[in-house]
Copies of this chain bind each other. A is one copy, B any other.
Amino acid sequence: MCETKMIRLGVLASGSGTNLQAIIDSSQAGKIPARVAVVLSDKADAFALKRAEKHGVPHFFVDPKKFDSREDYDEELIRILKEHQADLVILAGFMRLMSSLFVQTFRNRVMNIHPALLPSFPGTHGVRDALDYGVKVSGVTVHFADEGLDTGPIILQEAVLVLEDDTEETLHNRIHQAEYRIYPEAVRLFAEGKLKIEGRRVRILGD
């Protein structure tokens, strides 16, 4: 057994923060050697901020309107994340594309989750696009963020079957359940030093 350092997470969320909650729960249950150090949002009323408050996690609404450019905005995010010594940045329904300044600052230390089996159905409507295309299998992808839209190296994926009578809502509900399983798992693998990026492939070392 080797002792694993407890890493610090910076979570960015625009909405209800259910993936944030899944990670907080895994952390508090001692399932992952990581704890949420700070939560940032670009929406004042994001429920993710309330979740942070409830769990005593420092949280900040950073208002995009107060910044002239995406780089300026991202600089403020970076400042706060560094102030709270975030080892890993978790995008959890954060509805802004990150600048290359941000991606370069946290190179290979920013994770994103996407509700489809990338490279199929990137973009903001992964669930709807999969249904419209008529796939029989969709799923969830956790990947490292790079400068592209949902193009970074893939860490974990889980397949989710599309059912005959699925609507966007029913399929998304099952996809969410898969998200709550694999996002904390990806954080655990990172925290335990078990992820090795080789080109586009992410190797998972002996687990």
Contact = CB atoms under 8 A, between A and B. Distances in A.
Given A120-B119, A137-B157, A132 B203 contact: no
Interface string A149-173: 0000111111100001000000000
B119 A200 contact: no
Contacts of A117: 117, 120, 135, 137
Interface in A78-102: none
B133 A156 contact: no
Contact of A164 (B118, B133, B136, B204): B204
A135 B143 CA distance: 10
Given A132-B200, A203-B164, A137 B119 contact: no
Nearest to A143: B134
A202 B162 CA distance: 12
Nearest to A132: B200
A137 B134 contact: no
Contact of A134 (B135, B136, B154, B164): B154
A201 interface: yes
Interface in A175-207: 199-204
B139 A137 contact: yes
Interface of A: 117-120, 132-137, 139, 153-159, 164, 199-204
29 contacts: A117-B117, A117-B120, A117-B135, A117-B137, A118-B120, A119-B120, A119-B133, A119-B135, A132-B200, A133-B154, A133-B200, A134-B153, A134-B154, A134-B199, A134-B200, A134-B201, A135-B154, A135-B157, A136-B155, A136-B156, A136-B157, A137-B139, A137-B157, A137-B158, A137-B159, A139-B159, A159-B159, A164-B203, A164-B204
